[in-house]
Amino acid sequence: MNVIEKLDYKRWVCFEPKKLSIKNDDGLVLSDDDILIKVEYCGICHSDIHIIDGDWEKRGFVKYPLTPGHEVVGKVVKIGKNVDNVDIGDVVGLPWVHSSCCSCEYCFNSSEQFCEKRKVTGIDVIGGYSEYCVVNKNFAIAVNKVVDISKWKLEEIAPLYCAGLTTYTALKKLNIHPYQKVAILGLGGLGHMAVQYSKLFGAYTIVFSSDKTKKDLAYQLGADDFLTYDEIERMGKVDVVLSTLPNSQVATKFISYLRPYGKISFVGAHIDDLNFKPIELISKNLVLTGNAVGSRMDLLETLKISISNNLKPIVQVFEFNELEKALDLVRNGKAKLRAVLKI
């Protein structure tokens, strides 16, 4: 049974590409399997920029109007009658995948992010740039029940739902062994989490950035070396490259620096073309891959690993009415380091 939960709340709405405004609303549809959360914080992902700016409109799954935001964390204020896995007051988040069919081959294989019937937070349903959100019980993790969050702020937890999830699962799937050499390209919202996870896996981690002022930060996060892109020759050969960059021009230059059986993975969701010669892959049996967020199991693991090991995102918090200012900083790579909207 679907019911309209009557409440007065505000949310940001993108009515068409690059057209954002605050809308006053008075209700949300809540089924017996749903959870209503009062949103506390929502991280601002570069994917939100692509959605808001219309970059992904031609891909066919972005439809306007919409309320973006998929790094959501809040507290449960109401539960449907079929919900038995969370309680009022629990801390619950909401990632990219809002829900799926739970019965196709992808869902059975813990890959529901590829389910053809999945719903995406911030596109198909109201996302986190809203005072309230609806969470499906099958995709709800009460963070406070699975790991001790007493030393964490909620604004630090929010980015784990995408920035953390994406980089952790990408590195995990690359099957990194201790003492392998890993190059992390970029030290922004994704990159600064990737450095911490790379070190968790025991890798010798080299951070690349065009911003020399981030050198000290790289070392504080555990990096073994810091280089700018014009110092690539100093790197030598590496086993893994993880690109968090917003374009591919720089990243593809690293292919020739991979050892045999090396791997390069892309998590920066840009849409420009890759430019490389297939012989570069063939001659050394290289793997070229990417990573799309992660499953519920991946998210649970990310939350536990990150929080129990104190692998925190560095956040810059913005007030609700400062969204457009925050978006501009993220667009221009000026946020420090993960922009988070306070709801």
- Looking at the chain, the whole-number percentage of residues with pLDDT higher than 70 is 99
Q: Which pLDDT belongs to residue 1?
A: 59
Whether 201 and 301 share a structural domain: no
Mean pLDDT of 195-202: 97
The model's pLDDT over 288-301, given as tens digits with 9 standing for 90+, comes to 999 989 999 999 99
Residue range 102-114, pLDDT digits in tens: 999 999 999 999 9
- Pair 258, 320 in one domain: no
List Cα–Cα distances, 39 to 89, 128, 170, 283, 285, in angstroms.
Answer: 12, 7, 27, 50, 46
One domain for residues 217 and 141 = no
142 closest CA partner among 81, 97, 94: 94
Kindly tell me if the per-residue pLDDT of 50 is higher than 90: yes
Residue 317: per-residue pLDDT: 98
Query: Is residue 128 domain-shared with residue 242, that is, in the same domain?
Result: no
3-class secondary structure, 172: helix
- Output the pTM of the full model: 0.94
Q: Give the phi and the psi of residue 281 in degrees, each rounded to 5.
A: -80, -45
Q: Based on the domain organization, do 306 and 270 belong to the same domain?
A: no
Evaluate if residue 270 carries a pLDDT over 80: no
The answer to whether residues 74 and 179 belong to one domain is: no
Taking residues 279-292, report their average pLDDT: 93
Could you tell me the pLDDT band of residue 273, with boundaries at 50, 70 and 90? Answer: confident
**Which amino acid does the sequence have at 270?**
H
Asked whether residue 278 falls in the same domain as residue 298, the answer is no
- 97 pLDDT above the threshold of 90: yes
Tracing tokens 């896996």 back to the chain, one arrives at 201
Q: Which two tokens stand for residue 141?
A: 């993790």
Expressed as residue numbers, the domain containing 230 is: 164-290
Q: What is the pLDDT of residue 3?
A: 67
Per-residue confidence (pLDDT) for residue 4, from 0 to 100: 73
pLDDT tens profile 139-154: 999 999 999 999 999 9
Provide the strand spans (E) within the chain: 2-16, 19-31, 34-43, 71-79, 91-94, 97-99, 119-120, 132-136, 181-185, 204-208, 225-227, 238-243, 258-266, 287-290, 315-318, 338-342
Q: Are residues 9 and 122 in the same domain?
A: yes
Number of compact structural domains in the chain: 2
